[in-house]
Structure 1
Amino acid sequence: MKINNIFFKKAAFMLLAALTAVSCTDDNDWTTDSSLSRLFGVKDNISVTSGDTYAEITFNYVPEATHYIVELSTDPLSDDVPMGGANALVYGEDESIKPQSGYTGVELTVHGLQGATEYYLRVKARSDHKTESRWVYYKEGQTFKTLAEQVFNIPTSTDISDEWVRLSWNTDNVTNILVQVPTDQVDDEGETILNTIRNITLTDEIKAAREYTVTGLTGSTSYIFTITNGDVKRGTLNISTAAPMPAGNLKYELPAMVTKIDNALLEELFEQAKELAGSDNASVTIGLQGGSTVELSTLSETNEVAGVKIPEGMSVTFFGMPGETPTLVVPKSMNIDGSHNFINFENLKITELSGANYLINQGKACNINDITFKGCELFGFGNTPFRLQGSDIKTIGNLTIDNCLIHDISHAGGYSLIHIDAGGGKGYVNNILIRNSTIYNVKAANARCIVQVKDTDMESCKFVNCTFRNILGGGRYFFDSNGTSKGTSTPVVIENCLFGHMNTKDTRGGRNKTGFEVINSYVTYEQDGCFWHEQAETINGTEFPKTANAIPGFDNLGKADTDIFADPDNNDFTIKDEKIKNMKIGDPRWLN
C-alpha cells in the first residue's frame, strides 16, 4: 500500500512537469487539431408542417453557423448513410439556407416532394471556419408524411354522366388512372379496401391534353379515381355517376332545340313504345337535357294553351338528364284521364307558368297505380301541385314524394299541399309516402294542410325523415280527413322528422280515424307555431294554448330553429348544432 502511494505521487509530479513544458511554447497558445473545433448541432428541435408536395421546416439557430444542409429521403437515414442517396433530396449545398437576421430560428420551405409519402429528415450546420456539425435527425429518426396531392380538377355536373366521367388535371407528370370501387371490407387501420376494376395507362397524347373520359361505367354508382405517377398518388376523386334513365319500353332524349312537350310528341312516342312492347299498354321515358327549360303544354282546338293529355295506357317518366337540373314549366295543369301504370317525375325543377296554379288538378275519371316525384324541386304554384276534385271516380294507388324540395306554394285559394277534395271516395289515394324531403314556405294566410283527404278512407300516410318550416295556415291541420270517422286504416306515421318555425300560433294538430304515431320526431321552441300541445303550457316564458286535435308524441328541442339551422330565413336548413346533427333527424340532405 505504501509503495503504491509513492508511485502515484511520482507519476503526478511527472505529468505536471510535462504540462508546464507544453505551456511554455513560443505562441503562448494551444496547438489544436482543427477537426476537434466542431459546430454544435441544431439540437432535437426540428419541426415540420407538411403540405402535399412541400414541407415547411424550422429549427434553432446554431452560433457561428453560416449555412445549413437539409436532407430528406424516402429511405431510412443514419450516420452510416452517405448524403445524397438515390431517393434523397438535398437542400442547401449552394449555401442558400442561412441564418435569418434578428431571428433565433431558421425557417425554410422545401418543394418537389411526393404527396402522401413518408420522409426521413436530417439537418447539419456548416461554417467557413469550423468543422460542420453532426447530423441531427427529425424526431430521432422518425418520419413525417406529406398530405395527399390533388392534381385533378374538380368536375362539374356536365362532366358526369350515368355511363362516363370526364377527368382533367393540371400537370403532365402522370402515368396512370386507377378506377376503383369500395368493398365492404376494411384493412388493419380501418380503411375501406378498394377493388381496382381498371388501370388506364395514359398515352403521351392524353398527357398533353390533360383530359380523359372514363367510359363503360354504371349509373348511380360510387367510383374512386386515382391518378398516379408511377407508384405515387397525385390525386383522388370520389365521384358518383348520375342516375341512369329509368326503364321504359322507349327511352327518348329530348333534343336540345326542343323546348316543348305537347300532345303530338307524346302520342308519337307512345306509338313507338307500343310497337316495341307489342301491347297497347307501354312506357316511355323522356329525358330533358341538363340545364334546359321545357314547357309541358299543348294547343287546344281553338289554338289556346292547354294542358297536355297523357294518352290512355301510356306510362311516362319525365327525367332530368345529367348536368344542371332541367326545369319543367306548366302553363296549364296536365290531364291524366284514363288508366296508366305510372306517371313519374325525376330529377327536375317543376313550376307553373302564367297562373296555372296546379301541376295536377284532376277532375275526370282516372286509374293510376303510381305517381312519383323523386329528386325534384316543386315551387311557385299558386294553389297546389296535386289536387283531385270533382264527382268522377279517381283512384291513385301510391303517391310518393322522395328526396324532394317543396317550397313557396302560396295556397292563395286555401288549398292543401296534397289536396283531395273529391269527397266520399270520389278522389282516392291508397298510400301517401313523403320521405327524405324538405317542405317550407307553404305560407298563405289561408293555407290549409300538408295532406287533406275529404271524408275519404285510405290505407296509409307516412312522413319519414322530413324537415318542415313555415307551413300551415291559421286553424288548419297537419293531416285532415275532415273529421275522425274517415282517414287511414293504420295511424298516420311521423318518423324522424324535424319541425321548425310555423306560419301561425293558431295551427291545429290532425284529424284521422286511427290517430297518429310519432316516432323520434322533434319540434323547436318557437313563439309562433304549435300543433302538438295537448294542454296549455309555458315554455321559456312563452304561453302556448292547448292545441285543437293535438298530435301527441313530439319531443321539444328547447331551441329556436335559428339556433339549430344554419340560415333558415334564407332556406339553408343545414343543422349546425352538432348534438342535434348526431340525432339523425329531418331531411338527410341537411346533415352533411
Structure 2
Amino acid sequence: MTFIACKKAEEPGIFTPSRVFTPATITATGGETSASITWKASNFSNGRNVTYTVEISTTADFSTPVLFTKVVADSTKLIVTDNDLAIKTPFYARVKGNATAQSAESAGWAYTKDPFTITGEQLFLPVDPATVLATTAILSWRHSDGLTKITVRPTAGGTTLEFPLTPADITAGKKEVTGLTAVTAYTAELFKGTANKGSISFTTNPQRPTGPNVTVVASGTDLKALLETSVPGAVFILQQNGVYDISAEAVLPNNAAFTIWGDIGPNRPVLVANTIKLPTNTGVIRFENLDITGYPSNDPLQAKRAYIFNQSTATETAEISFENCIIRNLANTPVRLQGATVMNIGKIAVNNCIVYDISATQTYAFINTNATVARINNIIITNSTFYNVRVGLVLHNQLPGVSLNVSNCTINDISDDTRALIDYNAQSAGTFIFLNNIVGKVKSTANTARGIRIGGVSVTVSSDNYITSDYTVSTNPIGGVSTYSGTSTALFENPSGGVFRFKDANFAGRSTAGDPRWR
C-alpha cells in the first residue's frame, strides 16, 4: 500500500489577506440635525474585528484639513450630528479599513461621490401672509424647549434686528417682530443659545395708500356708485372685517382707472362681486388684498353671482390685476369677453392669489374669451393656488395672444370632461412660459380631460413642472413634465380643503415647485 501525503486545502471563508481590502462603496445622507454615513464592509472581514476610520472634509479630494475623524468598530455605519459639524455646509466623507493583527490597513480610501449637508432644524412654521404688515410680522414655530431669540435681517443686507424670546412667547409659539421696512424681503433665524433652529424668509407689505384720491370706505357700503363716479387714479380702501357689495352691474366712466385696496391683516375685507362693465377706454384696474366672493352678503346660502367682468361692448383696457386676493364662489368666471365688438385688454395679471369654486355649473375657464374680435394680449398667472375650477385656467381660442406666463402655481381638481387646462385651440399664445408648476387631479371622471393646446397641438414644457398620477388626460398631454408617482392626496395634506402643504417629505419639487406659500 502506498500513502501519499497531502496538504489540506484552505476552507472557504478563512482566507487571510495581507492587507485589509478597501471598502467598496460609501454613501452619506444628511438630515436636519444629523447625517448618516454607511459603507460596505471590506471583503474577507467577517469575524476578524476589522475597524474603520472615517474622515470628513469640505472638499472632495480632501485637500483641505480634515475636520472630523472617527474610528468605528464592529459597524459599517457612523452618525454625525450638528454638534460635530457645522450646519448648511457641504461635506465629503471617506473611509478606510484599519490594520488587524493579521493584515495591514487598506491601501486606499473609499470616497463619497456627492456632498452631504446637515440642514439644521427647521422649527419655523410657514409665515401666514395675513400676519405680515408693512412694518411688522408674526413668526411662529413648532414647540421646542430652550429657544432664546429670533434675529431678522434684510435679505439683501443691512442691520440685523434681535428679538429675545420670553416665556410667554415660547408658550404661545409665536412672536411679533417690529421695526421692519415696507416692501422689503427679510430672513429670520431662530436660536437656542448659539444653535440655529430654523430660518425662513418673508416680504413685508406696502404701506396703506395715502393722498387726495384715497377714500376709506365704511363697512357695508354699496360700491356701485363709487365705481361709477370714480376719477382716474382713485383708491378705495376697504377695512378689516368689512363686507362690501356691488349691488348691481357697475358701468364705469370713460378713462376709469382705480384700485380697490383691502387693509392688510388677519381678517381681510370681503368684496361681493358683481359685473363691472368696462368703458371704451380704461386704464389700470387693480384689486389688492381682498377676499372676493360671489355669495351676496358673504352668505353661502344665497345664490352665487356670475362674474366680475363680463364684457360685450367695445373697450381698450390697459390692465386688470389681482394681487394677494382670494377669489371664490363664482357661478361663471372672473373675466369673460363675449360678443362681436372689438375688445382689447393689454394685460391680465394674477399674483399671490388663492382661487377656488369657479364655474361649477358653467363652461367658462378662469380667464375666458371665445369672441372672434376679443383679445387679451398678455396673461400672467404667478405664485397662486387654484382648486375646484371646473373648466381650466385660460380659454383664448379665437385670436392669438402676445404672451402667456403660468409660473410657480399649485393647481388641483381642474378640467372637467373634454376641458383643457389651457386652450388656445389653433391660436398662438405668443411667448409661452410654464415653469415650476404642480398640477394635480383632473375633474373629469370620464377620462376625457385635455392638457395644454396651443397652435392646434400639444405643448412640451420643462421638467421643473410636475403632475401627479391622477392628472390624467385623453388628449393634448403636457410633454416634458416630471410625474410624481403618487396621487394628489398622497402629495398634499388636504387638497379638497385647500391645504397644499407637502405630505410627502421626499417629493423632488418640494423646495422649487408650486405656489411658494406651500413650500
TM-score > 0.5, shorter chain as reference: yes
Unpaired stretches in structure 1, ≥5 consecutive residues: 1-154, 168-176, 186-193, 200-210, 227-231, 271-281, 298-304, 532-546
Contact 1:403 1:437 in 2 (8 A): yes
Choose the corresponding residue for 1:243, options 175, 183, 205.
205
Query: Does 2:433 align with 1:488?
Result: no
Choose the corresponding residue for 2:406, options 438, 454, 463.
463
Choose the corresponding residue for 1:289, options 235, 239, 255.
239
The answer to which structure has the higher helix fraction is 1
CA distance, structure 2, for counterparts of residue 178 and residue 508 of structure 1? 48
- Please show how residues 128-527 of structure 1 align to structure 2 within 5 Å: 161-163=133-135, 181-182=153-154, 184=156, 195=159, 217-220=181-184, 222=186, 242-245=204-207, 250=212, 252-255=214-217, 257-266=218-227, 270=231, 282-295=232-245, 297=246, 305-330=247-272, 332-352=274-294, 353=296, 354-423=303-372, 426-443=373-390, 448-481=391-424, 483-484=425-426, 486-490=427-431, 492-504=432-444, 505-513=447-455, 516-520=459-463, 521-526=465-470
Measured at CA, do residues 252 and 241 of structure 1 come closer, stay the same or move farther in structure 2, by a change above 3 Å?
A: farther
Measured at CA, do residues 499 and 217 of structure 1 come closer, stay the same or move farther in structure 2, by a change above 3 Å?
A: closer
How far did 1:470 drift? Answer: 0.9
SS of aligned partner of 1:265 = helix
Contact 2:154 2:185 in 1 (8 A): no
Measured at CA, do residues 465 and 576 of structure 1 come closer, stay the same or move farther in structure 2, by a change above 3 Å?
A: same
How far did 1:345 drift? Answer: 0.9
Alignment correspondent of 2:497:
570
Alignment correspondent of 1:550:
477
Deviation per CA, 1:540-577, whole angstroms, max 9, x where unpaired? xxxxxxx3233322222111222211122332211122
Q: CA RMSD, aligned part only?
A: 4.0
SS of aligned partner of 2:420 = coil
CA distance, structure 2, for counterparts of residue 467 and residue 223 of structure 1? 24
Unpaired stretches in structure 2, ≥5 consecutive residues: 1-126, 140-148, 164-174, 297-302
How far did 1:196 drift? Answer: 5.3
CA distance, structure 2, for counterparts of residue 396 and residue 251 of structure 1? 25
CA distance, structure 1, for counterparts of residue 481 and residue 132 of structure 2? 42
How far did 1:396 drift? Answer: 0.7
Contact 1:245 1:285 in 2 (8 A): no
Larger radius of gyration: 1
How far did 1:380 drift? Answer: 0.3
Measured at CA, do residues 581 and 437 of structure 1 come closer, stay the same or move farther in structure 2, by a change above 3 Å?
A: farther
Contact 2:407 2:434 in 1 (8 A): yes
CA distance, structure 2, for counterparts of residue 212 and residue 182 of structure 1? 16
Residue type matched to 1:449 in 2? G
Residue type matched to 1:162 in 2? A
CA distance, structure 1, for counterparts of residue 284 and residue 472 of structure 2? 37
- Please show how residues 521-536 of structure 1 align to structure 2 within 5 Å: 521-526=465-470, 529-531=471-473
Contact 1:308 1:334 in 2 (8 A): yes
Measured at CA, do residues 163 and 553 of structure 1 come closer, stay the same or move farther in structure 2, by a change above 3 Å?
A: closer
Deviation per CA, 1:145-199, whole angstroms, max 9, x where unpaired? xxxxxxxxxx9999864256799xxxxxxxxx999633656xxxxxxxx625899
How far did 1:507 drift? Answer: 0.6
How far did 1:431 drift? Answer: 1.0
Alignment correspondent of 2:517:
589
Residue type matched to 2:420 in 1? Y
How far did 1:372 drift? Answer: 0.9
Q: How many residues align?
A: 362
Contact 1:306 1:331 in 2 (8 A): no
How far did 1:437 drift? Answer: 1.1
CA distance, structure 1, for counterparts of residue 206 and residue 155 of structure 2? 22
